Structure 1
Amino acid sequence: MFTSIVYHLLCSWFVFLLPCYSTFKTLSRTPVPGELEVICMYWTVVGAFIAVEGTVGPLVSWLPFYWELRTLFLLYLSLPQTQGSTYFYKTYLEPFCRTNEADFDAGIASATSNLINFFQSRISGLTDILFSLLNKAPQPYANGGRETTNAY
């Protein structure tokens, strides 16, 4: 339990907060040539890692030393001394994305179109229901507009 908190704090500090602040500092001044490229590679690799981990993490998080290995890998990616994110981007992520770029673009376009069509049909159905409820005239009493009482 305690070690889990330590690993989460280490990752939060070194993987997210320090690089976030470093990105802010870089963007608030004129960056050195190539500096933005390194920062973009870092955030691309971290984003891909988070996406993959969100999918397979629940399946493998029970493995022994998972959190320790995860923390070490994220530190490897984030520490400027190791240049891990640049290496991982150039060796694995860039070739994979280049090879599958057309499929990714087609999938994103298809998913976007399907999502827009889905929401348009749902909103159209909801507006139809709303207008039918608003335009519905009150029902007159069955007895010529007079209320009847039942006498026992």
Structure 2
Amino acid sequence: MFVGYLYPAYECFKVVEQRRPSVESLRLWCQYWILIALVTVMERFADTFISWIPMYQEAKLAFIIYLSFSRTRGTAYIYTTFLRPYVASHESEIDQHLNELRTRALDFVAAYWERSSAFMQTKFFEILQYVVAQGHRPAAAQPPPPPPPPPPAQVILKDC
């Protein structure tokens, strides 16, 4: 986490906060974060297949170190040699798939919103009807008051 995220994030912060950051430094860190995002997503899908390989974590750490340190220029090499040519040749397909995914996601959110708002409206009116019914109970429906206590027994004394 330190080598792959914290250190690069701090270096990126320093570049962004410069008065006039160089385009090359910004490009380098953008390329780094693109590659890290790609590695993270790929690893989530392939984790069950590759996590059991001996020394996998160590190899991953070495790869991240290779990418993150500017002396190795690993980020620029991997990006320009592998990623950029692949994405550039498939850019229109990727854009088409992303647009389809965005449309499906918006349709899903709209349908979910409609269903949840209809459900909430129904429940709200049920609760409102219940509250109104509780406030206007007829008097006969209320339990009768308890009967008054019986009068004390009278003792009549006769003259003897």
Q: Give the 3-state SS of the residue equivalent to 1:34 in structure 2.
A: helix
RMSD of aligned Cα (Å): 2.2
- Superposed, which structure 2 residues align to 1:10-49 within 5 Å? 12-29=1-18, 30-49=20-39
- Residues 14 and 79 in structure 1, CA contact (< 8 A), matched pair in contact too: no
Matched, 1:62 2:52: yes
Matched, 1:131 2:121: yes
Q: Please, which of 30, 46, 62 is the counterpart of residue 72 of structure 1?
A: 62
Q: Which amino acid aligns with 1:26?
A: V
CA distance in 2, matches of 1:18, 1:133: 51
Deviations 1:44-93 (A, max 9, x none): 11111111111112221101111111111111111211111110000000
- Residues 15 and 74 in structure 1, CA contact (< 8 A), matched pair in contact too: yes
CA distance in 2, matches of 1:122, 1:32: 45
Q: Give the 3-state SS of the residue equivalent to 2:111 in structure 1.
A: helix
**TM-score for both structures, normalised by structure 1:** 0.77
Q: Which amino acid aligns with 1:48?
A: L
Unaligned runs of 5+ in 2: 142-160
Query: 1:123 Cα deviation (Å)?
Result: 1.4
Q: Please, which of 105, 109, 129 is the counterpart of residue 115 of structure 1?
A: 105
Q: Which amino acid aligns with 1:32?
A: S
CA distance in 1, matches of 2:113, 2:23: 48
Equivalent in the alignment of 1:83? 73
Query: 1:15 Cα deviation (Å)?
Result: 1.9
Matched, 1:94 2:106: no
- The answer to which structure, 1 or 2, has the higher relative contact order (CA under 8 A, 6+ apart) is 1
Unaligned runs of 5+ in 1: 1-11, 148-152
CA distance in 2, matches of 1:117, 1:109: 12
Query: 1:20 Cα deviation (Å)?
Result: 0.6
The aligned length equals: 133
Question: Higher Cα Rg: structure 1 or 2?
Answer: 2
